[in-house]
Structure 1
Amino acid sequence: MKSNRTSVITIVVALLIGAGFALAGSQGGATIGGFPLFALAVIAAFAIQVIAFVPAAALRTERFFDLTGSLTFIVISIALVLLVPQIDARGLILAAMVVLWAVRLGSFLFAARVRRAGSDSRFEQIKGSPVRFLQVWVLQGLWVSITAGAAWIAMAVAPAQQRPLEWLGVVGIVVWVVGLTIEIVADAQKSAFRADPSNAGEFISTGLWARSRHPNYFGEIVLWIGVALVAVPVLQGWQWVALLSPVFVALLIGRVSGVPMLEAKADATWGGRDDYAAYKKRTPVLVPRLGASPARGANG
């Protein structure tokens, strides 16, 4: 079947990209038993997804897909703290940033996509095919590895590379806090909007959603930029591949699976309405508009 061949190719490409990322990010980094810690983290990220895929495929369920991704961020970040020969303040801060974000997002997505909805519509067409279903789990391993890459590479640098937390690190922490706050507030506003029966079938255009059609995604991008800023001072050589992390997050959200999919869904739902057209005209897609703003309307 052509779709299965495509999935196999995608899986192989994802594994090769992951291997290259692990190799580059590991150069000059700390090791355990002679094996680079960052490479071990990437291997573990993929392995956890494949292990979780086995019962998920047997039961034909995606119920714990998002939860598995979040737990991978958490487990590996904590493992690195325990395995790095001499973890420093920067490493502990980076681990905390990743873990706190993963706990918040994982619980939110599990509640929003599965517990309330009962299933995740993204998987309806693929969970009956083991190869296609495996593909999304492997891609999640790649997503975890590259997204957390800046934090994990900086955590796993050799002790000689470690430096005191200076002004750029403080700026990074502030940027991360701002991004996480925007994401949390935007998600809370949308959840409250949807919980109100009078808003059934409507789009949200109040609060942060009056300033951006996807403020939660904007917050997500900002917080990973903050993580990268904290990591930057200790990077050297091929470890600079860590900066792929915020770029990858921005491209994934802005061009692939985030904004484009939701914009298409919203257009299909409300595209013929004048109020939605007005909302789109006055509200930026991603980067929030500053200053006074009108009210009520969208994003599904």
Structure 2
Amino acid sequence: MTDFPLPSFLTGLGLSIIAVSVLMAVTFAVATAQKRHSVIDVAWGLGFVVVAVITFLASSGAGDGGRRVLVLVLVAAWGLRLAGFIGWRSRGGEEDPRYAEMLADPRGSAAVLALRRVYLPQAGVMLFVSLPIQVAMFSTAPLGPLAWAGAVVWAVGLFFESVGDQQLASFKNDPARRGTVLDTGLWRYTRHPNYFGDAMVWTGLFLVAADSWPGVLTVLSPALMYWALANRTGKPLTERRMSDRPGYKEYIESTSGFFPLPPRAGRGI
């Protein structure tokens, strides 16, 4: 077992808290000016890139160089792609129905409500979910087989997330398919390839961290992401919104709900 530089890690954690707080403050200002709090979705991916960069710099001379570079590259590739895609997808749009419903309470200050229900929770979740990134940056052991397996899992996740997003965007841009259900490509094997991919990305990053002590202790971070995507903010909200679309009931019955599986009549996972 190698020594973990706890004081340096705590310094990096403090810097990450400051950086995420500044990012959320800037995002809140932009959202208020645009009257559209859904811009925080763009900041979500960027926030993890900020944490990765901050801890990469803070861990110089403390963590293993190979692991630091690997984690920085993986997080930057995922976060910048996601932020760019969401920014492109939502350009010139109106407020996301999720945030409109969340902030519909007429009592009290709308700004305070947004901070309490959107920005502070997202900042907290971002810092917690990013713990594998932060710990991995300061881990001193050289890269081992588990870390490389994690990189492979990450690549599978990025494939599902990016290809699934692109297939959905193409589907929405096709007037001939308006009002129908996307059931081709990756969407033939899972109703949520983008959410499944996101879960695999974070599983992969956890494995990179768990390859060296004490990265295994961050297991609750990917577990939280999986729970949120499969049971809270991802899959359930999307399916509730799609429930009245013609053919969606049949799609649910034939297509796996999260993990990719061959389509089969009567399957609803």
- Alignment TM-score, normalising by the size of structure 1: 0.77
Query: Take 1:37 and 1:252, find their aligned partners in 2: how far apart are those partners?
Result: 26
Give the equivalent residue in structure 2 for 1:156: 138
1:266 alignment partner, one of 236, 242, 259: 242
CA contact (8 A) 1:210 1:294 kept: no
Letter in 2 for 1:286: F
The CA deviation string for residues 95-118 of structure 1, in whole angstroms up to 9 with x for no partner, is 111111110111111122x21534
Give the equivalent residue in structure 2 for 1:229: 207
The reply to whether residue 189 of structure 1 matches residue 167 of structure 2 is yes
Give the equivalent residue in structure 2 for 1:17: none
Query: Take 1:181 and 1:85, find their aligned partners in 2: how far apart are those partners?
Result: 31
Q: Does the C-alpha gap of structure 1 residues 96 and 192 become closer, same or farther in structure 2, counting only changes over 3 Å?
A: same
Query: Take 1:170 and 1:286, find their aligned partners in 2: how far apart are those partners?
Result: 25
Give the equivalent residue in structure 2 for 1:142: 124
Give the equivalent residue in structure 2 for 1:249: 225
| CA RMSD, Structure 1 to Structure 2 (Å) | 2.4
Give the equivalent residue in structure 2 for 1:287: 259
The CA deviation string for residues 41-100 of structure 1, in whole angstroms up to 9 with x for no partner, is 134323421343245335533263222222222222112222213241101111111111
- Alignment TM-score, normalising by the size of structure 2: 0.85
Unaligned runs of 5+ in 1: 1-26, 296-300
How many residues get paired? Answer: 254
Letter in 2 for 1:188: Q
Query: Take 2:163 and 2:26, find their aligned partners in 1: how far apart are those partners?
Result: 34
Letter in 2 for 1:37: G
- When structure 1 is superposed on structure 2, of 46-55 and 248-257 the one drifting more is 46-55
Q: Percent identity?
A: 28
The reply to whether residue 123 of structure 1 matches residue 104 of structure 2 is no
Give the equivalent residue in structure 1 for 2:57: 82
Unaligned runs of 5+ in 2: none
1:133 alignment partner, one of 105, 108, 114: 114
- When structure 1 is superposed on structure 2, of 87-96 and 175-184 the one drifting more is 87-96
Letter in 2 for 1:255: N
Q: Does the C-alpha gap of structure 1 residues 39 and 153 become closer, same or farther in structure 2, counting only changes over 3 Å?
A: farther
Give the equivalent residue in structure 2 for 1:12: none
Task: Give the match's secondary structure for 2:84.
Answer: helix
Deviation at 1:195, TM superposition (A): 0.8
What pairs with 1:164-243 in structure 2 (closer than 5 Å)? Answer: 164-236=142-214, 240-243=216-219
Instruction: Indicate the structure whose relative CO is greater, using CA pairs within 8 Å and at least 6 residues apart.
Output: 1
CA contact (8 A) 1:30 1:156 kept: no
